[in-house]
Chains A and B, each alone.
Chain A
Amino acid sequence: MIGGLFIYNHKGEVLISRVYRDDIGRNAVDAFRVNVIHARQQVRSPVTNIARTSFFHIKRSNIWLAAVTKQNVNAAMVFEFLYKMCDVMTAYFGKISEENIKNNFVLIYELLDEILDFGYPQNSETGALKTFITQQGIKGQHQTKEEQSQITSQVTGQIGWRREGIKYRRNELFLDVLESVNLLMSPQGQVLSAHVSGRVVMKSYLSGMPECKFGMNDKIVIDKQGKGGTTDDPGKSELGGSGKQSIAIDDCTFHQCVRLSKFDSERSISFIPPDGEYELMRYRTTKDIILPFRVIPLVREVGRTKLEVKVVIKSNFKPSLLAQKIEVRIPTPLNTSGVQVICMKGKAKYKASENAIVWKIKRMAGMKESQISAEIELLPTNDKKKWARPPISMNFEVPFAPSGLKVRYLKVFESKLNYSDHDVIKWVRYIGRSGIYETRC
């Protein structure tokens, strides 16, 4: 199990050091600093073995978090724990920075004592932790016995992510379907790989212990229902279950509140949500993805000292919708001496420090086309190595889900309190963003 946990600043000074196991000595702190933080070479692996001691590290801005062990631990668990620890810290004091960590070191030690026992991760849901560990010192002195046992049963209980007795005057929930669409396209316009990784983020402000059920246009569910319908009403099922209406989900993962065995057997998503914001599910699709933009590059080398670049982008969605924050990044060779750009729309600039032409367009409607052309002057070099031609990348945001996912319903049942599904105010929003959206040139 995890033998110790260290947090360093960018210089390698220790900010937090907590040792859980006897086999980890004080010298481990220095070993990591010398061999990893101060290493001359760039780090080649997130797991480092130094003198039979293994170090796992992640970085958040310029802060290093390292877990150390001498045993054959579950490596995936260690990293998951490190991420979780960052989440917990962020939930308590915001951004993970040297200053924040120094300001809250007592709190961090307290948290580390609670969420890691003898190197075994314990309940680390902020919802539960905040009931008994706070920045204003510890509650507990003035609690009644009932309150205390409520805390402990929540921390150890089946529904560790939600406390009882939550009340809202207005029951409200927000669903955000956030997708990032990833593309790798060949210069000839052939899709080399494309996938959407999506997240359904929920903000719930619901009273009591509501039982929720979430439904989307998952092909498997729709087909199942479609089959049921065929016997009575063939016409209707055709409408409901046709290809465009439903999407094939390659895989999905859920927040721990979702009953996985129920999803496995019935493919229904039911859960008691945590209070506030959390990520309900993640999913991945690869079929029938709407690629919001197409990039058509044309690069021509004119002699040894000049490049001509022309890039056309085409928007490929309903004309009534508007894409935002469009940015096309066209890499330029390292020996570029000057660039002249002409673009029909938006603004384009050559950024020498980034070795790229950055073309920004604020808004663009669907089914439109725009173009940029640039002449790049090159310095003559005797470098034999050819320019690697990194791909042209794109950023954008569109108000729909490129995977085609639709939320069908989110039902709320709370039997003990007197509000029904109809009383809950629900909001749904779809945002599609570019992930790694690249076209080779």
Chain B
Amino acid sequence: MTDSKYFTTTKKGEIFELKAELNSDKKEKKKEAVKKVIASMTVGKDVSALFPDVVNCMQTDNLELKKLVYLYLMNYAKSQPDMAIMAVNTFVKDCEDPNPLIRALAVRTMGCIRVDKITEYLCEPLRKCLKDEDPYVRKTAAVCVAKLHDINAQLVEDQGFLDTLKDLISDSNPMVVANAVAALSEIAESHPNSNLLDLNPQTINKLLTALNECTEWGQIFILDCLANYMPRDDRESQSICERVTPRLSHANSAVVLSAVKVLMKFMEMLPKDLDYYGTLLKKLAPPLVTLLSAEPELQYVALRNINLIVQKRPEILKHEMKVFFVKYNDPIYVKLEKLDIMIRLASQANIAQVLAELKEYATEVDVDFVRKAVRAIGRCAIKVEQSAERCVSTLLDLIQTKVNYVVQEAIVVIKDIFRKYPNKYESVIATLCENLDSLDEPEARAAMIWIVGEYAERIDNADELLESFLEGFHDESTQVQLQLLTAIVKLFLKKPTETQELVQQVLSLATQDSDNPDLRDRGYIYWRLLSTDPVAAKEVVLAEKPLISEETDLIEPTLLEELICHIGTLASVYHKPPSAFVEGSRGVQHKKLTARAGSGESAESPDVGLSGPSEAPPAVIPSQGDLLGDLLNLDLAPPTATVPSVQPSMQMGAMDLLGGGLDSLMGDESDTLGGDIGGSPSMGGGLGVAPAAMPAALGGAPAVGGGLGDLFDLSGGVGMPTGSYVAPKTVWLPAMKAKGLEISGTFARRGGIIQMDLSLTNKAMSVMTDFAIQFNRNSFGLAPAGPLQVLTPLSPNQTIDVSLPLSTSGPVMKMEPLNNLQVAVKNNIDVFYFSCQYPISMIFVEDGKMERQVFLATWKDIPNDNEALFQIKDIHLNSDAASNKLQGSNIFTIAKRTVEGQDMLYLSVKLTNGIWVLAEMRIQTGNPNYTEMELSIKCRAPEVSPFVFQCYELVLKN
């Protein structure tokens, strides 16, 4: 039997001929004709004109012919709705056929015909088929409900099909269960609040039983559905995990990945000290590795997912580095993904092996792959400090190959290595400069220019080098132009005498001849800086750069959590949330991992739960009432799988808003203006986008206001009186330890400026002079904003009080404890070191009052395990007084409400580095002897919470 001949009928008058054949009396001829029609349909010809003739062939007892006609109907019914009605009778009749295969065929096809009039007729047969005695018909009918729902959701609800579908979850046949689950999951997705998939321990148990018995595809449907369930406690999650783990040995990779998804999600709820937790972690590695022996396309999906898993739980695969080594014959997409994972797994233990591999890869053929390999070497250097030297020498070897794109890529990464390890590898600059001419890519050119500018004082002919770039200034890309501008200004500040002409040239090129606003803006700023205050210019342009982070390419944690919930799906392949590529409402719900509820708070949660959302009294802030209720709901009700999206559109908006805001905040946290301009070329646009953030970053005086004039008005601001609490001075450096110099001090925040109030006492016999002060790197970048002003010599037994203004633009390094500050004080006798701790309220900024909307969205957005609970006892304040008091220390009340005799305050604080700390405070009113307040603090950087709490306590008690 050869059917290929049907593909070759391309004569004129074909339709007419077909028409005749379709109406032929001979069965065989009819069948042939229908086949020809289907073949034409496949290759895209319009054969809709034959509709009535084809439909006429429908009434046949030849099943093959019938199926072909059905296929035709599914394709063309929509364009010929009136004609399609002709088919209804046959469908309805077939639904009663004694043969279950025909009953199923009829109901399956009918669901695919998207014509309103037909769907009406579909309801009765569908209802019967859902209760058919034959499981084959039931499983087909279950899917048909989803089809019908897609055409007319209201009809499905009105006809009560959803309830019937739910009943099918208890069906005796596993395939019926699986299809019902698939259909319900799909319908539930478009009704986020319907609670359609009412998963409870009983249904879960049924699903888990069906899981063992149904087809591989059914197992996937069930596992994907299970992943949406939220177990009540860790015992339930453990028991589900135990029943899901056997699936890890399934031959079907999709079953394995879906099982991994369920386990990754439920593991989150298990206590980490549990033995089972460790066992589970160990069980996850082998199946993930096995996925890499599947076909390349599946390997690709697996690798994209492993990339996520490794970021979430690096411990799972930390010993499996070797399996990610690239094979010569791997398809390029597998190679690139493996490379990514290798870098993520690189550690001190395996770095030698990894580097040897990477060097091997850098000599391969595929340009993208080679580039990525070179870049990977750089990332290893930044990630594993011990390997930096070896990486640099490997990169130099590669530069010697003179392969153009290898050299360019190497230079880009070396720039990052310079930034990460300043003053270590600059000896290689000469080698780099040799390759100047071969650079033709903007990124490499910009990197090289940055290097020349940054190390201008060590490169003899820096001015010549930069000048050579300047010739074709207007032909360069923006990235290079910006970098060149900054580099020449740097050069000028370092070697002002010889380069005046050059700097004038570049400034005029940038400001007068360019139509790029970013470039012009940056040019003007430099120009003004240089002409008004060269010292300030130096401070800005040559400021110490913040360290570049080890893992700049990590996926943002909230997105990562969401993607973990989508393991195995397209979202995990794209590394994007479904909302980014799915149209309409489907799949837009944000999924979240829910961590195990903290054991400490469990005692008080039940009664709070009762007084929670169910009987929320009229809110204090009417317009926000419902949202606030929502917030409470989220906070206190037992954890739910998805964010209850009461007002999805609005919520989305708020989140986006927040996202953007946070990004820019993060921006000024990690990069001061100087760093930004002088920093990596990839941030070239920084100046253009961050005018609002500039003042804050520049002088360490956050929120002083816009205007360039204010920029340098650092110490000028006389502290406006605020109610901020200032602790009494304590002795930081006893005289015993400092050859007679005693230092006591405290911190205060006046008018937005942090001040260190010091008392220097000379308990020695001789006069002390030449005081100077310096800070070590610290968590929030505190640094003296000016010199220590001790103008007169300090005679024996004399005490001088000085106030030292501090900025927050210094180098950042996390300290332990977080608010620790190491100080060095020098005088004519010696250098002394001491450390002190500043109350974290010093770095609460004045504009820390969050918008209500933003507050709500942010509160939801911060994962629950970042929440910390505290109690403050023996406070004699009512909520208003507390609120006033807190405000004095830049802790702002966003909203207040009263629930069952308790006042709730919602508070926000913003740190100088842009981190927001949100809090909810519960105060019992009516009782004159308030004994306690409860404070729950949420922050993206949870390590800050205890210190913020200390401040609350300190402020409230004083």
Residues of A within 8 A of B (CB): 1, 13-17, 19-23, 26, 29, 42, 44-47, 49, 52, 54, 56, 58, 69-77, 79-83, 99, 102-106, 109-110, 113, 117-118, 120-125, 132, 135, 137-138, 140-141, 143, 145, 148-149, 151-153, 155-158, 160, 184, 192-193, 195, 197, 250-256, 259-261, 263-264, 279, 281-282, 284, 384-386, 388-391, 393, 436, 438, 440
Cα A44 to Cα B372 in complex, Å, equals: 14
Cα A253 to Cα B688 in complex, Å, equals: 55
Within the complex, the shortest CB–CB distance from A297 to chain B, in Å, comes to: 15
Within the complex, the shortest CB–CB distance from A113 to chain B, in Å, comes to: 7
Q: Chain A residues with Cβ under 8 A from B7's Cβ? A: 102, 105
Cα A27 to Cα B742 in complex, Å, equals: 82
7 nearest A-B pairs in the assembled complex, by CB-CB distance: A251-B286, A102-B4, A152-B136, A76-B254, A264-B246, A77-B254, A260-B246
Contact with A1, one of B186, B256, B333, B574 (Cβ below 8 angstroms) = B186
Which among B215-223, B416-424, B449-457 touches the partner chain?
A: B215-223
Instruction: Name B588's closest neighbour in chain A (CB-CB).
Output: A72
Q: Chain A residues with Cβ under 8 A from B216's Cβ? A: 80, 256
Cα A86 to Cα B686 in complex, Å, equals: 52
Whether A44 pairs with B332 at a CB distance below 8 angstroms is yes
Q: Chain B residues with Cβ under 8 A from A440's Cβ? A: 360
Whether B108 pairs with A113 at a CB distance below 8 angstroms is yes
Instruction: Name B182's closest neighbour in chain A (CB-CB).
Output: A120
Cα A160 to Cα B139 in complex, Å, equals: 14
Contact with A251, one of B42, B44, B254, B290 (Cβ below 8 angstroms) = B290
Instruction: Name B212's closest neighbour in chain A (CB-CB).
Output: A261
Knowing A74-B220, A440-B360 are in contact, say whether A260-B296 is a contact too (CB < 8 A).
no
Q: Does B752 contact A (CB under 8 A)?
A: no
Q: Chain A residues with Cβ under 8 A from B273's Cβ? A: none
Q: Chain B residues with Cβ under 8 A from A54's Cβ? A: 570, 581
Q: Does B302 contact A (CB under 8 A)?
A: yes
Beta-carbon contacts under 8 Å, B133-185 to A:
134-137, 139-140, 143-144, 146-147, 150-151, 173-176, 179, 182
Contact with A113, one of B2, B71, B215 (Cβ below 8 angstroms) = B71
Q: Does B35 contact A (CB under 8 A)?
A: yes
Q: Chain A residues with Cβ under 8 A from B64's Cβ? A: 106, 110, 137-138
Q: Chain B residues with Cβ under 8 A from A56's Cβ? A: 297
Cα A73 to Cα B572 in complex, Å, equals: 10
Chain B interface residue count, CB cutoff 8 Å, equals 116
Q: Does B306 contact A (CB under 8 A)?
A: no
Q: Does B709 contact A (CB under 8 A)?
A: no
B86-127 vs A, CB cutoff 8 Å, 1 = contact: the mask equals 000000000000111110100010011010000000000000
Within the complex, the shortest CB–CB distance from A426 to chain B, in Å, comes to: 23
Q: Chain B residues with Cβ under 8 A from A123's Cβ? A: 175, 215, 217
Q: Chain A residues with Cβ under 8 A from B569's Cβ? A: 72-75
Q: Chain A residues with Cβ under 8 A from B213's Cβ? A: 158
Whether A49 pairs with B581 at a CB distance below 8 angstroms is yes
Cα A20 to Cα B186 in complex, Å, equals: 15
Q: Does B322 contact A (CB under 8 A)?
A: yes
Which among B323-331, B427-435, B552-560 touches the partner chain?
A: B323-331
Whether A75 pairs with B573 at a CB distance below 8 angstroms is yes
**Given contact pairs A148-B100, A388-B363, a sample of 19 additional A-B residue pairs in the complex whose CB atoms are under 8 Å apart:** A1-B182, A47-B573, A72-B569, A72-B587, A80-B254, A105-B38, A122-B179, A152-B104, A153-B135, A253-B251, A260-B249, A281-B251, A284-B290, A386-B401, A389-B363, A390-B328, A393-B328, A436-B329, A440-B360
State the majority secondary structure of interface residues on A. Answer: mixed
Instruction: Name A107's closest neighbour in chain B (CB-CB).
Output: B3
Instruction: Name B297's closest neighbour in chain A (CB-CB).
Output: A46
Q: Chain A residues with Cβ under 8 A from B245's Cβ? A: 264
Instruction: Name B71's closest neighbour in chain A (CB-CB).
Output: A109
Within the complex, the shortest CB–CB distance from B239 to chain A, in Å, comes to: 13
Cα A74 to Cα B245 in complex, Å, equals: 19
Cα A143 to Cα B43 in complex, Å, equals: 35
Q: Does B128 contact A (CB under 8 A)?
A: no
Q: Chain A residues with Cβ under 8 A from B220's Cβ? A: 74, 77
Cα A259 to Cα B568 in complex, Å, equals: 23
Q: Chain B residues with Cβ under 8 A from A284's Cβ? A: 286, 289-290, 293
Whether B298 pairs with A76 at a CB distance below 8 angstroms is yes
Listed by A's residue number, 26 A-B pairs whose Cβ atoms lie within 8 Å are A21-B150, A23-B583, A26-B44, A44-B332, A44-B333, A46-B300, A74-B257, A75-B568, A76-B302, A79-B297, A103-B4, A105-B38, A109-B68, A120-B143, A137-B64, A148-B101, A152-B100, A152-B134, A152-B136, A160-B175, A192-B322, A252-B249, A253-B287, A254-B249, A386-B401, A388-B365
Within the complex, the shortest CB–CB distance from B210 to chain A, in Å, comes to: 10
Q: Chain A residues with Cβ under 8 A from B401's Cβ? A: 384-386
Whether B246 pairs with A120 at a CB distance below 8 angstroms is no
Q: Chain B residues with Cβ under 8 A from A143's Cβ? A: 99
Q: Does B740 contact A (CB under 8 A)?
A: no
Q: Does B814 contact A (CB under 8 A)?
A: no
Instruction: Name B302's closest neighbour in chain A (CB-CB).
Output: A76
Whether A282 pairs with B582 at a CB distance below 8 angstroms is no
Cα A219 to Cα B283 in complex, Å, equals: 17
Instruction: Name B334's closest neighbour in chain A (CB-CB).
Output: A46
Q: Does B402 contact A (CB under 8 A)?
A: yes
- Among B4, B300, B568, chain A packs the most CB atoms within 10 A around the CB of B4
Instruction: Name A184's closest neighbour in chain B (CB-CB).
Output: B325
Whether A104 pairs with B3 at a CB distance below 8 angstroms is yes
Knowing A120-B179, A253-B256 are in contact, say whether A58-B297 is a contact too (CB < 8 A).
yes
Within the complex, the shortest CB–CB distance from B326 to chain A, in Å, comes to: 10
Q: Chain B residues with Cβ under 8 A from A151's Cβ? A: 101, 136
Whether B38 pairs with A109 at a CB distance below 8 angstroms is yes
Cα A388 to Cα B365 in complex, Å, equals: 8
Q: Does B876 contact A (CB under 8 A)?
A: no
Q: Chain A residues with Cβ under 8 A from B70's Cβ? A: 113
Q: Chain B residues with Cβ under 8 A from A70's Cβ? A: 582-583
Contact with B4, one of A13, A99, A121, A140 (Cβ below 8 angstroms) = A99
Instruction: Name A132's closest neighbour in chain B (CB-CB).
Output: B101
Whether A156 pairs with B175 at a CB distance below 8 angstroms is yes
Instruction: Name A128's closest neighbour in chain B (CB-CB).
Output: B215
Q: Chain B residues with Cβ under 8 A from A80's Cβ? A: 216, 252-254, 298
